């Protein structure tokens, strides 16, 4: 059943408390499972992606108790198979769990949604083979044959398709016999803030990480601390709500926005300011006030590529053309996001042209119609954002927002209903 995106007859105003960060939640769950004494994650996101991570840990023999947004990961005697891991469409599960499962004793089988089988996995799996693992297959479905430990050591990879390839190895590297040294050889790694997040969290778990050499990360072998992790709000999920203020000349506040963070979503502040918004970080949170008309933008989104759908949606509503650059790698995300964005914008009468590494969007009058989500949560929210200003937009699968934000529809309706 399609979802009728509500149009805003006036400026949208309100406060939206977004749930916890998926990126932090799933990293914290992995590190807690790798720690001898387990750990606690408070403020955890509850979504399909994080539920899949919890299920993966349990499948490997890790005791996990979930009480709303608090997750307690218990101590265990080691990972064990046989186990079946459902990755769904979650990159953090399909990339982060195999390096951890390489420490298991027994066979661990991985599979996921149909589109997940097309997402690149060979970089991680080849790296694990170099480090001593036995793996059948180069993408989902694949099987890992564990013997209770992993030699580890040095490996050279090309992580230009995803920063998750680096993060995946760093998260588990401290528990390998020789630790792990990951060297990247290729085009620049995208979404570097996500690697910085991983490095910071691995250090916080008690491991020594040397990232002083460009494109090289070294994690020394060590035990990991049992600790409590506190999850920040998901700033990338928050961007669509801030975008509602930008698109309608409204004013939206997201509470608890951190003054300092490694989340890529924080990059929205500079982008919205360049598009003409007033952006203020205060004790109340991040406050965005939209202008009478948005300005077009020429922006390199290489390090914050997950923001591309939100920025593209806003660009269709701007007063001048926009060029989004540096995001060729998002063709390998939940869907080919560049092709999908171009198709959906053009389907509503817009003008979006794919380039080698991004999009050129020229504002034209838009009309209502069906916006396809491609089972991609960020495509779905981009359609909702366009629908605020363009009457008659319908999103074919708003339910896919449950991947990272199960309450999106209610939060959106409350925000749009709070206009004045």
Structure tokens belonging to residue 315:
């660009």
Closest of 310, 324, 376, 377 to residue 352, by C-alpha: 324
Cα dihedral sign, 96-302-286-16: negative
State how far the Cα of 338 lies from the Cα of 67, in Å rounded to an integer.
38
Structure tokens belonging to residue 30:
């992995």
Asked whether 271 and 235 are in contact (CB, 8 A), the reply is: no
152 belongs to an annotated ligand binding site: no
419 belongs to an annotated ligand binding site: no
Asked whether 202 and 158 are in contact (CB, 8 A), the reply is: no
187 belongs to an annotated ligand binding site: no
Q: Is 280 a catalytic residue?
A: no
191 belongs to an annotated ligand binding site: yes
- 256 by Cβ neighbours in 10 Å (0-12 / 13-18 / 19+) ranks as middle
119 belongs to an annotated ligand binding site: yes
Asked whether 299 and 324 are in contact (CB, 8 A), the reply is: yes
232 belongs to an annotated ligand binding site: no
27 belongs to an annotated ligand binding site: yes
Catalytic residue among 306, 344, 356, 394: 306
403 belongs to an annotated ligand binding site: yes
306 belongs to an annotated ligand binding site: yes
State how far the Cα of 237 lies from the Cα of 118, in Å rounded to an integer.
25
337 belongs to an annotated ligand binding site: yes
State how far the Cα of 290 lies from the Cα of 275, in Å rounded to an integer.
9
260 belongs to an annotated ligand binding site: no
HSE toward the beta carbon, residue 405, CA cutoff 13 A: 27
Positions at the binding site for 3-phosphoshikimate:
22-23, 27, 162-164, 191, 306, 333
Which residues are annotated binding-site positions for phosphoenolpyruvate? 22, 91, 119, 164, 337, 378, 403
- Which positions are annotated as active-site residues? 306
Binding residues: 22-23, 27, 91, 119, 162-164, 191, 306, 333, 337, 378, 403
């Amino acid at each position: 059943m399609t979802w009728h995106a509500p149009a805003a007859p006036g400026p949208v105003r309100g406060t939206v408390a977004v749930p916890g960060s998926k990126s932090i939640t799933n990293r914290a769950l992995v590190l807690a499972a790798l720690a001898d004494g387990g750990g606690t994650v408070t403020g955890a996101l509850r979504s399909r992606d994080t539920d899949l991570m919890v299920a993966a840990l349990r499948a490997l023999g890790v005791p996990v108790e979930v009480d709303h947004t608090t997750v307690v990961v218990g101590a265990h005697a080691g990972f064990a198979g046989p186990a079946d891991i459902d990755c769904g469409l979650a990159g953090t599960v399909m990339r982060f769990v195999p390096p951890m499962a390489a420490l298991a004793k027994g066979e661990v089988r991985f599979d996921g949604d149909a589109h997940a089988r097309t997402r690149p996995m060979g970089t991680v799996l080849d790296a694990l083979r170099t480090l001593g693992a036995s793996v059948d297959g180069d993408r989902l479905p694949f099987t890992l044959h564990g013997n209770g430990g992993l030699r580890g050591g040095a490996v050279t990879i090309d992580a230009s398709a995803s920063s998750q390839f680096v993060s995946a190895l760093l998260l588990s590297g401290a528990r390998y016999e020789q630790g792990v040294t990951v060297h990247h050889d290729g085009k620049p790694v995208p979404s570097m803030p996500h690697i910085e997040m991983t490095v910071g969290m691995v250090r916080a778990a008690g491991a020594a990480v040397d990232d002083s050499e460009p494109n090289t990360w070294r994690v020394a072998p060590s035990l990991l601390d049992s600790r409590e992790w506190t999850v920040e709000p998901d700033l990338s999920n928050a961007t669509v709500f801030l975008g509602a203020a930008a698109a309608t000349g409204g004013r939206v506040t997201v509470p608890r926005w951190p003054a300092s963070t490694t989340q890529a979503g924080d990059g929205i502040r500079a982008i919205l300011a360049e598009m003409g918004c007033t952006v203020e970080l205060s004790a109340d949170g991040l406050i965005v006030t939209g202008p009478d008309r948005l300005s077009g933008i020429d922006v390199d989104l290489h390090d914050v590529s997950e923001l591309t759908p939100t920025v593209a949606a806003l660009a269709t509503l701007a007063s001048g053309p926009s060029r989004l650059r540096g995001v060729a790698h998002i063709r390998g995300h939940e869907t080919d996001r560049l092709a999908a964005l171009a198709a959906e914008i053009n389907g509503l009468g817009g003008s979006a042209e794919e380039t080698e590494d991004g999009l050129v969007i020229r504002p034209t009058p838009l009309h209502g119609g069906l916006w396809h989500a491609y089972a991609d949560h960020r495509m779905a929210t981009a359609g909702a954002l366009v629908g605020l200003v363009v009457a008659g937009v319908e999103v074919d699968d708003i339910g896919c927002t449950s991947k990272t934000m199960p309450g999106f529809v209610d939060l959106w309706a409350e925000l749009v209903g709070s206009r004045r």
